Structure 1
Amino acid sequence: METFVKINFLGASGVVTGSKFLIETSEKNILIDCGMFQGLKELRELNWIDLPIDVKAIDVVLLTHGHLDHTGYLPRLFKQGFRGQIIGTAPTLAIAEIILKDSAKIHEEEAEKANKEKYTKHNPALPFYTIKEAEATISLFQAKIEDKWIHLSEHILYRFQYNGHIIGATFIELDINGKRFVFSGDIGRKNDYLLKDPKTPEWADFLFIESTYGNKLHPIDDVEEILTSMVNETIHNKGNLIIPSFAVERLQTLIYILWQLYKQRKIPNIPIFIDSPMGNNVLDVFKRFPKWHKLSPEEYQAMCNHVNIVQSYRETWETIDDKRSKIVIAGSGMVTGGRVLTYLKQLIDEPSTTVLLVGYQAEGTRGRQLLEGAHEIRFFGKYYPVKATIKSIESLSAHADQGDLIHWISGIKNVPECVYLIHGEPSALDAFRVKIENTFGWHIKIPKLTNVDKVMV
C-alpha cells in the first residue's frame, strides 16, 4: 500500500532563521525544530502570525539544538494549543530552557520599556511571550540520549547524532516506513576549540541540509594572532574591546582562547568582563555535561577563574565607568538586544573603542549594519554615530562552510531521492545547489516559506 508523507516548510526556507519543518504521517505528526525568525522586519513580523497548520494535531517536537532560531517559537506553539512532548538531548533542553526564560524576560522588559517611553506604534506593546508561558512550555521537555534509535510509533523511529556546532547539538535521523529523513540542524566544524568533530550520516532518502555558508569557505585566519594584536592595540589606545557574542558556545570559546593567550604570555592580564546572564548559565551547562565537550574539569575551572562575571545591571555600569583598558564580552551576537547595547550606546562613538563581530550576522540586524560600514546605529529609538573601529573574525563561526558541508554529506552511501536546501540566504542556497549538483549529481529542491511537498514512503 502506498503511503505519503507531507512536508510543511514553515521556516528556514529561502531564509536562514525560523527553523520549523512539519512532517505529517498517518501515524504521527512531527515538528522538527520550532525557531523564531530573526533579522529583517518583514521576517520578524511573521513571528506574530499563527502557524498555518493545526497546531493541536502535532504529536511531538524534535529539537536539533537549543539556539533561538531553532527553539524560540516554542512558547507561541504552546499558546496555539500544542501539548505534546518536546524532545531533545539533555544539554539541548538545558540550553533551550536558559534561552526561553532569558528571551521571555527580555520580551517582557522591552514591552514595558516601550510602553513607558512611548517609542512604539503598538498600544499597548505586548511581549512576544511571557516568563509564565515559557515555563509552561519547558514543562513539556523530555530528554533522550544520543546515538540510539527510539520508537515514536509502530513504523516511525528517530535518532539524535552528535553534530558539533553548540553543546548538545545533533542532526536528526527519522525513519518512516523504512525511508530515512535526515535533518542536519546546524552543522559544526572540525577541530573546534571546545567540541568534538561532528558525526556524519551514512544514509538519507530525503536530506534537509543547512546552507548558511553554502557559498563560502571560511578564511584560514590565525584567530589567536588576530586577537593578540587586537588586545595589545586596545591597551595601547587606552580603549575598550567590545565583543558582541552569542551566549551559547561563542562566548565560552572566546573565554577559552583569551585564557590560553594569557597562559602563553601573548597578552597581559587585561581585565575581561563577561556580561551575559545567559552566557553564565551556559557555562554551567558545560560543567553539568562534561562528556559533550573537550574540556577537563580543571581546565573549565581555570578558564572561568580568569574572567570577571558581571552579575547585575549595576555592575554593567560600573564596568562602563571603569577607566582601565578592558575586554567586554556581552550578548547578543548580532547586536539585536541584550547587555551589549548598553556598552555600545555609551562607547560606540569613541575612536578608542574596537567592536569585534565574531559570528554570522543576519540581514536586518545591527551586527550586519556595522559589518557593512554603517556610519550611525539606532538603539532604543535614537541614533548614535559610529566612531569605533569595527572588525570581524569570520573563522570563529560555529557553522560549517561549503567545504565542511560537502564533507558532511560525502559519507552518504545511497543517492537521496531529494535534497532540500534550507537555512540559507538566496545566494548561499543557489551556490550550494550548483556545488552539490556538480559534485554528486543529486536532485535538489530549494523550498520557500509555506511550501508543502508530498513524498511516497
Structure 2
Amino acid sequence: MEKFVKINFLGAAGVVTGSKFLIETSEKNILIDCGMFQGLKELRELNWKNLPVEVATIDVVLLTHGHLDHVGYLPRLLKQGFTGKIISTAPTLAIAEIILKDSAKIHEEEAYKANKEKFSKHNPALPFYTLKDAEKTIKQFEVEIENRWIALSEHISFRFQYNGHIIGATFIEIDINGKRFVFSGDIGRTNDYLLNDPKRPEWADFLFIESTYGNKLHPEENIEDVLSEIISETIHKKGNLIIPSFAVERLQTLMFILWNLYKKNKIPNIPIFVDSPMGNNVLDVFKRFPKWHKLPMEDYNAMCNHVNIIQSYKETWETIDDKRSKIIIAGSGMVTGGRVLTYLQQLIDEPATTVLLVGYQAEGTRGRQLQNGAHELRFFGKYYPVKATIKSIESLSAHADQQDLLNWVSNIKNVPENVYLVHGEPTSLNAFKVKLKDTYHWNATIPKLTDVSKVLL
C-alpha cells in the first residue's frame, strides 16, 4: 500500500502570523503550532472561521514556543472538537498559559468596552474566547523535555530542540516512517543577551523554515549607544520615552539593557516603568527555569529592583500623571492592544514624546503604521494625531536574519527532498528562496494559505 503524508498549511503561509501546520498520516494526525492571525483585517477575520479540516481527528498538538501567533488559536481549536494533548517544553507551556489567560482577559475587556461604548459594528461584540475557555485549554497541556525522542505511534516519533528566540522555544523534529520532518518554529539569534545560541538540525528530508527576515540583515548598530542617545534626547525634551514591547523576551531584554546602561553610568537614574501584567508573569518564568537562559539570578534580582513594575490600572494613570521624564515599557509590541494604548492615548500628540519600536511590526498593525510615518492612529474607536517622534531599533529583534537562517541550516548533511518557506511576507520569502538556491542549490516551495501538499514516503 502506498504510504504518504498530507501537509495542510493552515497558517503562516505567505504571511508571518497564524502558524498552523497539520500533518496527516495513516497513524496519527499532528498539528504543529496553533496560532492566531495578527495584522491585516482580512487575516484577523480568518481567526473567526473554523479550520477547513476535521479538527476532531487531530490527535495531538506540538508547540514550538509560546508566542500568541503560535498558541493563541488553541481555545478555538477545542471549541471545534479537539480533545487531545497539547505538548511542549515546560517553559513554553508556562508562557502559553500566561498568554492565553492574558489574551482571554483582553478579549473579554475589549468586548465589554465595545458594547458599553457602542463602537463595534457587531451587536453584541463577543470575546474571541473567554478566560474559562483558556483554562479548559490549559488542562490539556503536557510537558516533555527537550532533546529526547518521544514515540507517538509505531512509526512516528518527535523531539524538541533548543532554538533561542524566547525562553522555552524549540524547533521540532518528527520522524515518520524513517523520513524526518523539521519544523523550525521561530529561530533565535546568536549572541543573544539572555538566551543561549540555537541548536541546528543535522538532517531534514522535509524542512519547514521561517523566513520573517529572509530578505534582511539586522543592522550592525551598538544598541547601548543608540538607546543612550534616545534617552538623552528624551530628558533634554522633558518628555517621555514609550517603548511598546512584546511581553515575552523583549521586555526582559530591555530591562536588562537599561539596567546595564545605568550600571555603566551611560544613562542617569531616569525612572523606568514596566506596565505589562503578562511581562511580569514572564519574569517569574525566568526565575522558575534558570537552565533555559543565561541570566544569573543576582543580575535578575538587581534588574527587577531597578525598575518600577506597575501592578494595577490605577498605577498606569499615576504614571501618566507623573510629570518627570521617564521610560515606559508597555505591551503590546506591535501596538495591537494592551496597556501601551492608554499611554499613547494621552501622550502620542505631544512633540516631547518619543515612541521606540523594538521588534518586527506585522503588516496591518498600528506598529507598522507608525513605522511607515502615519500622521494619525485609530484605536478605542477614535483617531489620535501622531506628533510624537517615532524611532525603531531593528537589531533588537528576536528573529534570525537572513545570514542567521543560512547558518541554521548549514549543519544539515543531506539535501532535503523539499524545503517549505513559511512565516514570512512575500518579499522575504522570495528573497530567501533565491538565497537558498544560490548558497546550497536547494529548491524551495512557497506554500499559500490552505495549500495541501502530499508527500510519498
TM range, smaller chain: over 0.9
> Which residue pairs with 2:454 in the alignment?
454
> Which residue pairs with 1:54 in the alignment?
54
Summarize the alignment of residues 173-252 of structure 1 with structure 2, pairs less than 5 Å apart.
173-252=173-252
The Cα shift of 1:17 comes to 0.3
Structure 2: how far apart are the matches of 1:133 and 1:148?
A: 31
Over residues 83-129 of structure 1, what are the superposed CA-to-partner deviations in whole Å (9 max), with x where a residue is unaligned?
Answer: 10000000000000000000000000100110111001101110000
Over residues 306-363 of structure 1, what are the superposed CA-to-partner deviations in whole Å (9 max), with x where a residue is unaligned?
Answer: 0000000000000000000000000000000000000000000000000000000000
> Which residue pairs with 2:28 in the alignment?
28
Amino acid at match of 2:46: L
Structure 2: how far apart are the matches of 1:270 and 1:124?
A: 44
> Which residue pairs with 2:294 in the alignment?
294
The Cα shift of 1:233 comes to 1.2
Structure 2: how far apart are the matches of 1:379 and 1:430?
A: 33
> Which residue pairs with 2:388 in the alignment?
388
Summarize the alignment of residues 253-402 of structure 1 with structure 2, pairs less than 5 Å apart.
253-402=253-402
The Cα shift of 1:439 comes to 1.0
| Residues 211 and 422 in structure 2, CA contact (< 8 A), matched pair in contact too | yes
Over residues 19-76 of structure 1, what are the superposed CA-to-partner deviations in whole Å (9 max), with x where a residue is unaligned?
Answer: 0000000110000000000000000000000001000100000000000000000000
Amino acid at match of 1:384: Y
Does the residue aligned with 1:266 lie in a helix, a strand or coil?
A: coil
Does the residue aligned with 1:87 lie in a helix, a strand or coil?
A: strand
Structure 2: how far apart are the matches of 1:35 and 1:52?
A: 15
Over residues 265-287 of structure 1, what are the superposed CA-to-partner deviations in whole Å (9 max), with x where a residue is unaligned?
Answer: 00011100000000000000000
Amino acid at match of 2:257: I
TM-score by length of 1: 1.00
Structure 1: how far apart are the matches of 2:276 and 2:428?
A: 31
Summarize the alignment of residues 60-75 of structure 1 with structure 2, pairs less than 5 Å apart.
60-75=60-75
Over residues 244-282 of structure 1, what are the superposed CA-to-partner deviations in whole Å (9 max), with x where a residue is unaligned?
Answer: 000000000000000000000000111000000000000
Amino acid at match of 1:409: V
Structure 2: how far apart are the matches of 1:105 and 1:285?
A: 20
Structure 1: how far apart are the matches of 2:358 and 2:295?
A: 21
Structure 1: how far apart are the matches of 2:125 and 2:379?
A: 17
Over residues 167-208 of structure 1, what are the superposed CA-to-partner deviations in whole Å (9 max), with x where a residue is unaligned?
Answer: 000000000011000000000000000000000000000000
> Which residue pairs with 2:139 in the alignment?
139
1:126 has 2:126 as partner? yes
Amino acid at match of 1:284: D
Does the residue aligned with 2:47 lie in a helix, a strand or coil?
A: helix
Structure 1: how far apart are the matches of 2:18 and 2:435?
A: 25
The Cα shift of 1:425 comes to 0.2
Summarize the alignment of residues 162-177 of structure 1 with structure 2, pairs less than 5 Å apart.
162-177=162-177
| Residues 246 and 331 in structure 2, CA contact (< 8 A), matched pair in contact too | yes
Structure 2: how far apart are the matches of 1:109 and 1:11?
A: 26
Structure 2: how far apart are the matches of 1:284 and 1:448?
A: 38
Structure 2: how far apart are the matches of 1:180 and 1:246?
A: 33
Structure 1: how far apart are the matches of 2:222 and 2:56?
A: 50
Amino acid at match of 1:392: S
1:90 has 2:90 as partner? yes
The Cα shift of 1:447 comes to 0.3
Structure 2: how far apart are the matches of 1:112 and 1:400?
A: 38
Over residues 359-405 of structure 1, what are the superposed CA-to-partner deviations in whole Å (9 max), with x where a residue is unaligned?
Answer: 00000000000000000111111111101000000000000000000
Does the residue aligned with 1:48 lie in a helix, a strand or coil?
A: coil
Amino acid at match of 2:443: H
The Cα shift of 1:443 comes to 2.1
Does the residue aligned with 1:171 lie in a helix, a strand or coil?
A: strand
The Cα shift of 1:236 comes to 1.1
Summarize the alignment of residues 411-426 of structure 1 with structure 2, pairs less than 5 Å apart.
411-426=411-426
Structure 2: how far apart are the matches of 1:126 and 1:266?
A: 48
Does the residue aligned with 1:391 lie in a helix, a strand or coil?
A: strand
> Which residue pairs with 2:99 in the alignment?
99
Structure 2: how far apart are the matches of 1:103 and 1:391?
A: 27
| Residues 272 and 307 in structure 2, CA contact (< 8 A), matched pair in contact too | yes
Amino acid at match of 1:83: T
Amino acid at match of 1:71: V
Amino acid at match of 2:319: T
> Which residue pairs with 2:76 in the alignment?
76
Amino acid at match of 1:330: A
Structure 2: how far apart are the matches of 1:303 and 1:380?
A: 34
Over residues 211-248 of structure 1, what are the superposed CA-to-partner deviations in whole Å (9 max), with x where a residue is unaligned?
Answer: 00000000011100000111111111111000000000
| Residues 433 and 443 in structure 2, CA contact (< 8 A), matched pair in contact too | no
Amino acid at match of 2:394: E
Amino acid at match of 1:389: T
Structure 2: how far apart are the matches of 1:15 and 1:234?
A: 35
Structure 2: how far apart are the matches of 1:121 and 1:375?
A: 25
Name the count of aligned residue pairs.
457
Structure 2: how far apart are the matches of 1:411 and 1:246?
A: 31
The Cα shift of 1:440 comes to 1.1
The Cα shift of 1:2 comes to 3.1
Amino acid at match of 1:201: P
TM-score by length of 2: 1.00
Amino acid at match of 2:348: I
> RMSD over aligned Cα, in angstroms?
0.5
Amino acid at match of 1:229: E
